Amino acid sequence: LDMLFHPEIKEMVVKRAKFWQSMREFMMKKGFLEVETPVLENTAGGADARPFITHHNALNMDVYLRISTGELWQKRLMAAGFEKTFEIGRQFRNEGMSAEHLQDYTQIEFYWAYADYNDGMKFVERLYKYVAEKTFDTLKFKIGEFNVDLGKEWEIYNYEEIIKKFTGIDILNVDLKEIEKKLQKLDVPYDKKGFNITRGIDNLWKYARKHLGGPGFLIDVPASIEPLAKRKENNPELVQRFQVILGGSEVGKGYSELNDPIDQAQRFAEQQKLREAGDEEAQMFDHEFVEALEYGMPPTCGFGVSERLFAFLMNKPARE
């Protein structure tokens, strides 16, 4: 009845179809192969998120619904000799709901061998412009309180500098107690269970990002924040990661993928310690993925964006 009486809601369903169709068109024009990877996994990998757990009766074991659209599987394809792959599919995260967050949603992820995060930023900017024009016939959008023009020069935001500018905290010289005090002063809610310095810095960033309209790319995050990204050669404490910033939030993330099996195993081990200390969003140790890296994965750029981008361009809550 809602759709019968409100044509604009019906039109939104049509626009959403155009949105994903234009994504697929762009990727295929650029020579990417569409693939499908498992939704049920025995190790939930590729993101920091709490997974849904279900039971596999035939094998009598618990399995997880995936929290990324095949990240660790598509990187195995890179190790197997494929150079450009993408997947559009559903993923699931068993965590809080908000205007920006759903538990069950569609995402695209692509992986591009012999490319790095600088190549990824140029490619993603072209992708977003293509999708916006095909779906909405414009590059200018109202997103929340921001007027966003995808056609203007995209900004580059430095993670450490942005947090310092809006919170006064130097994330390279801070302890957990100081972060907690600042979060309380800024009235930022945070989960005390499994709380650690990585989660604390992430909460500071989530406060700071609300001030950025974009379009732009966030770069130079600490290695502890991103366990699957390659370190920067000139500063190994930071990683080669970029996030698209639009309308005060992150709308897409990519990086030069970590392809050093020793470094990856160490970072998985650090994440496992955080899980054991109560951080349910920390990543699981995927031994099979490390083994794939030992055989050799080429330098690769990976990127993912969910239908949050569509919601933002529509200027609607994600649930709607």
Q: What is the pLDDT of residues 115-154, one digit of tens each?
A: 999 999 999 999 999 999 999 999 999 999 999 999 999 9
SS3 7: helix
Task: Specify the pLDDT at position 130.
Answer: 98
Q: Which of 313, 143, 152 is nearest to 212 (CA)?
A: 143
Average pLDDT of the segment spanning 152-175: 91
Separation CA 289–CA 271 (nearest Å):
15
Separation CA 201–CA 220 (nearest Å): 14
Cβ neighbours around 208 below 10 Å, total: 22
pTM of this prediction? 0.88
* 244 to 80, 123, 263, 301, 319: CA distances (angstroms): 29, 12, 26, 15, 21
The encoded tokens of residue 125 equal: 């900017």
CB 119 within 8 A of CB 301: yes
Residue 217, token pair as written in the block: 């790319």
Question: pLDDT: is 229 or 124 the higher one?
Answer: 124
User: pLDDT (tens digit, 9 = 90+) per residue, 243-302?
Assistant: 999 999 999 999 999 888 998 888 888 888 887 787 776 777 888 888 888 999 999 999
Radius of gyration for the chain, computed over Cα atoms and rounded to the nearest angstrom: 19
Nearest to 111 by CA among 69, 83, 80: 83
Distance CA 105, CA 320 (A): 12
Q: Of 176, 170, 210, nearest to 190 (Cα)?
A: 176
